[in-house]
A and B are shown apart, each in its own frame.
Chain A
Amino acid sequence: MFLRHKKLVLIGVILVLFLLLVACNSIGNDSSNGNTRAGSTQQQGSIPAATAVATITPQLVTPKASGGSQGKGPITIFSPTPVPGGKAGSQQVVLGDRTLIINSASKQKGGSTNFTLIYLDLAVQNTSDKAIMNQPTFFQLMGLEGDIFDYQYNSSDNFYGPLAAHTTRSGTIVFQIPTAAASSLRLLYRPEIATETAIIFLGVS
């Protein structure tokens, strides 16, 4: 009799604890409407639970265009055109009066782990009958977070300068950027003719 009573008590305790466990597990979770409220871990502590989310059908608007037109944005290049006979990963960008050739893009660690050097092996071909410019300010890097970098730590000493008609300048330019920014990089090439601005995907090796 005593043993049977003890058994019932133990089963009861287990059931109570199980119910507590289920109850505790439900605290802080409210995924109605796919939204998340509270329950998130904080560096300085958790946050009290919040109220439920109401469900209102939003007004879906496809507005009528009442005029105007879009402008001329940069040329965006996501699928590089390889240089005929060039290195693997090379690409050429044909613009109105010039062709920009990216023979390679690579990175090395900088003077500290916080910084990375991005090497671009480039050539600029003047394909026009007039002289064009080739200046350091034409070359910038765009990365994650929206920031743009143009600090060049080094460059070939004869790379920059004007290009006479149908001539080419080749060389290497070296950017220094924060290491955390050295991924998903694009080259923002903005020459003296703004309509030739291009954003070029860089497969940095």
Chain B
Amino acid sequence: MTHYTRKILAICVALTVIAASTLLAIESIIGTQAQSASASGIGSLADYFVPGSFPWGTAFDSSGRVWVAMPGCDLAPSCPSSTPPGKLALFDPNALNWVTIVSLPAGYGQPIFVAVDHSGKVWFTMPATNSIGVYDPVSTTVTQWAVPTASAGPWGIVIDSKGTIWFTEHYGNQIGSFNPNSQTFHEVATPSPNSQPYGITVDASDNIWFTENNDSVALIGKYTNQGVLNEYKIRNGPTGGTGLTPHMITIDPNGNIWWSEGWVSAIGILNVAAAQPGTNNGVTEYQYTPSCGSCGSHASGISAGKQGLIWLDDSLQNTFGSFPIGGGSFSFYNSPTSGGHPHDGLNVDSQNRVWFDEEFANKLAEAIPSDPPTPTPTSTSTSTPTPPLGSGLGTDSFQRANQSLWGTASDGQTWGGDANSQSVFSISGNTGRVSNTGGTSYSAVLGPTAANAEVYATGSMSSFANSNFGDVLRWADGNNWYKAYIDGKSLFMQKKVNGVTTILASVPFAATAGTSYTIHFRAVGSTLTANVWASSGPEPGGWMVMASDSTLTSGYRGMRFLTQGGTAAVTSFLAKSL
């Protein structure tokens, strides 16, 4: 053997040792993880391609087989009208294969959710064609019915013990029922015009429970077996814009109601014994921290298991997991296929197997829990206290360096509303500027909320052509406030409630561009009063305009501007509680 050959052999040996060590290390890691997974409650995990695309809702037949609705397009947010009719398919967990594939005929839409009745018929909703349908496996026929309200968006579906079909109307504010015997519909509207009902379930007494999905509404609805609609708050205080979107809903073995909360990475429970309509008594929210900080998070499917666990999935985290019914901490696992998007079709069967669709992977996943995990005593519930009403001042002299946005006021508080997010706001020449708003009005608010308060604001306009500026009180957002303003011709008192403006009072007041004016606006109880005067002079005695209105009871204090192509320049702002 030459020296060269010996050298080659030595290198081979070294590489082999490295490879062997690496293999041993990998094996060691795998062994540790398997042990951990078993301890955490998952025995096995599998997924199966569906014979269609975009699987969504699931339901079990009396044999424990799994029906899956496959719209063939992503109904969130919508499908093209050219999408062909969708499919239903039946998966047999024992054979581990698909046993029936139903291609809906022409004239049918895209099924999104399914439910199986006592005779084995498969009911489904089709939002794009505003219909519900049924497939009879015995006669292999399908029938469909148009929902009475046009464009109602039939969505979630459930069947009560009497065989009545219940569904949510997601594009509106109703739930509907269908009696298969009389073939008649009945629709029930929620008070809110945009409640967008989503998930639906039925309890042992045939009460219908559903989520009101829109985060401006965010309620749990109950339509009792006596025909009464009750609504339960999830949180006290406004929820609009928070991302709290109650989504799917389920009932645990104790009869309590659970729901997924969409964009706030949480689930909620209503303890039925403590529930009171119109309140959030009995509600607890449990929030989790998504492991992927940049993926987004959406708590989607939810179902109650047989081992004291609530199961859920997070479509954007691509995970599924569990939470103890009695409280505790979440356990999460990756969905089998990367990017699979586990969504609304999560369901736990009678053998405690957890099924969920992977919408974007076109698969049906099955997770079999092992021994139940020991619940930890630590609750991860989150409270959402209503901020206390403030009583402080807000004041700004605008004496600071030129900058974009309004930044921090002279009293140390940070301006809110649009003042620190919209580029129309700036500080220039020791004045607060608002320039070039176009046709959109913008607000600046300072300090805490208050019920009874007053504002003094001093400023000028470069032009009053289709422009105005004034004080706001009880401001909640750009669509809800009281305002006292001048437009060059008059002093107006106005309210805006849910986007709709109403003039409450007005008085002629000639104002000229480039002149500084002070506007004094006060709200005490339902009494609103205001004055305006040229800043070079004193405030008029008495009040120039008065109105009575009780629509808005509390909110922030500030100013609101519409300058078109011009500029408003504010030199002082003072707000105080009364």
Contacts of A42 in B (CB 8 A): 33, 37, 42, 45, 333-334
**Contact across chains for B97 and A58 when beta carbons are under 8 A apart:** yes
Which residues of B from 84 to 98 have beta carbons under 8 Å from A?
89, 92, 95-98
Q: Are B79 and A71 neighbours in the complex by a CB distance under 8 Å?
A: no
Chain A min CB distance to B568 (Å)? 15
A37: shortest Cβ distance to chain B, in Å?
4
Partner of B46, one of A10, A37, A174: A37
Chain A residues whose C-beta falls within 8 Å of the C-beta of B477 in the assembled complex: 152-154
Tell which of A13, A38, A47, A160 touches B16, judged by Cβ atoms closer than 8 Å: A13
Contact in complex: A61, B101 (CB < 8 Å): yes
Q: Known interface pairs A56-B95, A137-B193. Does A21 touch B19 (Cβ–Cβ under 8 Å)?
A: yes
At the interface with chain A, which of B385-393, B436-444, B526-534? B436-444
Of residues 1 through 37 on chain B, the ones whose CB sits less than 8 Å from some CB of chain A are: 1, 9, 12-13, 16, 19-20, 23, 26-27, 30, 32-37
B80 pairs with A76, CB closer than 8 A = yes
How many angstroms between the C-alpha atoms of A148 and B150 in the bound complex?
18
Cβ < 8 Å to A, chain B residues 226-257: 240-241, 243, 245, 247
Q: In chain A between 98 and 128, which residues have their CB closer than 8 angstroms to a CB of chain B? A: 108-111, 114-115, 117
Known: A7-B9, A55-B97, A65-B105. A152 touches B499 (CB 8 A): yes
A34-B49, A53-B97, A63-B135 known; A72-B151 Cβ under 8 A: yes
- Interface window among B123-131, B266-274, B277-285, B399-407: B123-131
Given A24-B23, A155-B499, verify A33-B49 contact (CB < 8 Å). yes
Q: How many residues of A contact B (CB 8 A)?
A: 101
Once bound together, how far apart are the Cα atoms of A38 and B105, in whole Å?
A: 36
Segment 64-92 of B: residues with Cβ below 8 Å from A:
75-81, 89, 92
Asked whether A110 lies within 8 Å of B421 as measured between CB atoms, the reply is yes
Which interface class (under 10, 10 to 19, 20 to 34, 35 or more) fits B?
Answer: 35 or more
Residues in A neighbouring B107, C-beta threshold 8 A? 65, 69-70
Which residues of B sit under 8 angstroms from A195, Cβ to Cβ? 150-151
**Which of these, B23, B36, B194, B499, contacts A160 with CB under 8 Å?**
B499
In the assembled complex, the Cα of A76 lies from the Cα of B130 at a distance in Å of 13
Cβ of A157 < 8 Å from any Cβ of B? yes
CB distance from B443 to the nearest CB of A (A): 7
Find the A residue at minimum CB distance from B262: A147
Q: A34-B49, A153-B477 are in contact. Are A40 and B105 (CB under 8 A)?
A: no
Does B496 count as interface, using CB distance less than 8 angstroms? yes
Interface check A136, CB cutoff 8 A: yes
B12 touches A14 (CB 8 A): yes
Q: Is B213 touching A54 in the complex (CB atoms < 8 A)?
A: no
Contacts of B471 in A (CB 8 A): none
Are the CB atoms of A76 and B128 closer together than 8 Å? yes
Contact B263 A147 (CB under 8 A): yes
Q: B153 interface residue, CB < 8 Å from A?
A: yes
Give every chain A residue within 8 A of B149 (Cβ-Cβ). 194
25 of the cross-chain contacts (CB-CB < 8 Å) are A36-B47, A36-B337, A36-B363, A37-B47, A42-B33, A42-B334, A45-B37, A53-B96, A62-B105, A68-B144, A71-B146, A73-B109, A73-B129, A73-B151, A76-B78, A115-B241, A144-B76, A145-B262, A154-B477, A155-B479, A157-B441, A177-B241, A178-B296, A180-B316, A194-B151
- Interface positions of B (Cβ within 8 A of A): 1, 9, 12-13, 16, 19-20, 23, 26-27, 30, 32-38, 40, 42-49, 51, 75-81, 89, 92, 95-105, 107-109, 126-131, 133, 135-136, 139-147, 149-153, 155, 170-172, 193-194, 196, 198, 213-216, 240-241, 243, 245, 247, 262-263, 291, 296-298, 300, 315-316, 319, 331-337, 343-344, 363, 416, 418, 421, 438-443, 477-479, 494, 496, 498-501, 562
Residues of A within 8 A of B (CB): 3, 7, 10, 13-14, 17, 20-21, 24, 33-38, 40-51, 53-56, 58-74, 76, 78, 108-111, 114-115, 117, 135-137, 140, 142-161, 170-174, 176-181, 184-186, 188, 190, 194-195, 197, 199
